[in-house]
Structure 1
Amino acid sequence: MQSASEPGHTILAVCDILWYMAINALLFDVDGVLLDSSATHRRIWDNWSDMRGLDRDLVWSLTHARRPEDTIRDIAPDLDPIAERKVLNELMTKEGDAFPAAPGAVNLLRKLDHRFWALVTSGSRAPVHRRFQLAAIPLPRVQIFGEDVEHSKPHPEGYLKAAELLLADPADCIVIEDAPHGITAGKAAGCTVVAVATTHPSGDLIKADACFPSLEEATPYLLTAVSGGKSSHMP
């Protein structure tokens, strides 16, 4: 995997990857990619772990790019995941929905035609809509949420469904992810995957095709790819 945080020649290599690709769509994860929500989610899961007498770090390690119910089934199979999701929702309500947009997210999305990008998240529709509204983040036509799929990440169902609704071949899509489970899902769907090292160190994201320190730093290359390589952002 090429990392854009490494010396300059690797940035050119990443650029070369995207230059030759006929990209028809960008498929974005939400938390850690478009929303800077990691600190809030960590507080919520830590509070829940304390309530249930579970190891905070172990629980947190199983939450990324997954539906809460799936995390609960893995970490505490004796608990009712539906009931525990309600507890987590109550903790979330106390936190509020004012999550900041990730640096560069609004700038990037406002430059994209809504027909050529989608959301694919393990989160739920109503909370994500509220957070996007509060953060002034635009919404695309195609949005895939945790309740829209039978199998959550690392299963590819969400990304495959998004590509289908966009009338795009998965091979012509770039997935933008921040977590290993999401990268696995994107690769299994047959997409190219660009990782942003916002919630995980780059060493955890080695299965992605390219990795950038942030969405903001990835933006010129994503715009180049979706415009067919004809971009003034090229070095």
Structure 2
Amino acid sequence: MPATPTAAVTTLTGRALLLDMDGTLVDSGPAVERVWRAWALQYGLDGDQVLEVVHGRQGFASMAILLPDRPMEQNHEENARMLAQETADTEGVVAIGGAAAFLASLGGLPHALVTSADDALARARMGAAGLALPPVAVTAEHVTLSKPDPEGFLLGAKLLGIDPADCLVFEDSEAGVAAGLAAGMQVIGVGPATTGYGATVSVDSLHQVTVTEADGTLTLTITA
């Protein structure tokens, strides 16, 4: 009989987990696309190109890339309006496969949400997806810079009282992976595209990740 293939297993260790939201825990793609395609149409921009830029970034940072000659003050003002639109539009927002069980497994373990959404949007999307918001959350109000800058992840580590080098990041976007690596952290990429972004290891689903704890050390067992 032919040999049965064995699953490849990767083990990572750390002391805390920092979790992105959109695309990592929550599938908000349809809502994001509705809001940003309408914005692109308003400015005569290609919707597909706009969506490539906005993923993982705060809105004002995306606008600065897409409309480079526009004053940043205007970007911040418009971003505030768009965040309100996104908060009101939760149609089709659901949990990423395995996210509920994964979050439940982290009860009592050091972890934080680090998202480009503001507090209202994070609560709206996590609630729509039926997911509990982690007790520690870094949202847009807490930082001055957007991913790919590492500010958010470094703040998450500080709030948890954990050295950045001992934090493990879960991310799905190119900007997010870059932010985690820039913070000096190992990055678990969610989705096959993250291999190309330089993630430490990539998974297709959170179902592939198991977290255990012993003496303050978290061990992630990742099955391919």
TM-score (norm 1): 0.81
For the residue of structure 2 that corresponds to 1:181, the secondary structure is helix
Structure 2 unaligned spans of 5+: none
Residue 124 (1) aligns with residue 118 (2): yes
Shift of 1:163: 0.6
Shift of 1:89: 3.7
Residue 168 to residue 57, structure 1, CA distance change in 2 (3 Å): same
Other-structure match for 1:88: 82
1:214 to 202, 205, 208: 205
Shift of 1:202: 4.2
C-alpha distance after superposition, 1:18-65 (max 9, x if no partner): 2xx2x2111000000010112321222111101211111221111111
1:67 to 58, 61, 68: 58
For the residue of structure 2 that corresponds to 1:110, the secondary structure is helix
Distance 2:196 2:223 in 1: 28
2:26 to 24, 31, 35: 35
Which residue type is aligned with residue 204 of structure 1?
G
Structure 1 unaligned spans of 5+: 1-6
What does residue range 167-206 of structure 1 map to in structure 2 within 5 Å? 167-197=161-191, 201-205=193-197
Residue 56 to residue 104, structure 1, CA distance change in 2 (3 Å): same
Other-structure match for 2:136: 142
Residue 82 to residue 164, structure 1, CA distance change in 2 (3 Å): closer
Distance 1:231 1:152 in 2: 27
Residue 232 to residue 160, structure 1, CA distance change in 2 (3 Å): closer
C-alpha distance after superposition, 1:202-234 (max 9, x if no partner): 4532x11100112222x22xx14x554779998
Which residue type is aligned with residue 193 of structure 2?
P
Do 1:115 and 1:141's aligned partners in 2 also have CA atoms closer than 8 Å?
no
C-alpha distance after superposition, 1:77-134 (max 9, x if no partner): 3262134224524643563366111111111111113451100011110111122223
1:26 to 17, 36, 43: 17
The Cα RMSD (Å) is 2.6
Distance 2:221 2:159 in 1: 30
Residue 44 (1) aligns with residue 35 (2): yes
Distance 2:65 2:195 in 1: 24
Name the structure with the higher strand share: 2
Do 1:97 and 1:127's aligned partners in 2 also have CA atoms closer than 8 Å?
no
Shift of 1:156: 0.8
Do 1:155 and 1:185's aligned partners in 2 also have CA atoms closer than 8 Å?
yes
Name the structure with the higher helix share: 1
Which residue type is aligned with residue 187 of structure 1?
L
For the residue of structure 2 that corresponds to 1:175, the secondary structure is strand
Distance 1:173 1:230 in 2: 11
For the residue of structure 2 that corresponds to 1:201, the secondary structure is helix
Among the aligned pairs, what percent are the same residue?
Answer: 33
C-alpha distance after superposition, 1:190-211 (max 9, x if no partner): 11100011xx724532x11100
Matched positions, count: 215
Do 2:27 and 2:93's aligned partners in 1 also have CA atoms closer than 8 Å?
yes
Other-structure match for 1:103: 97
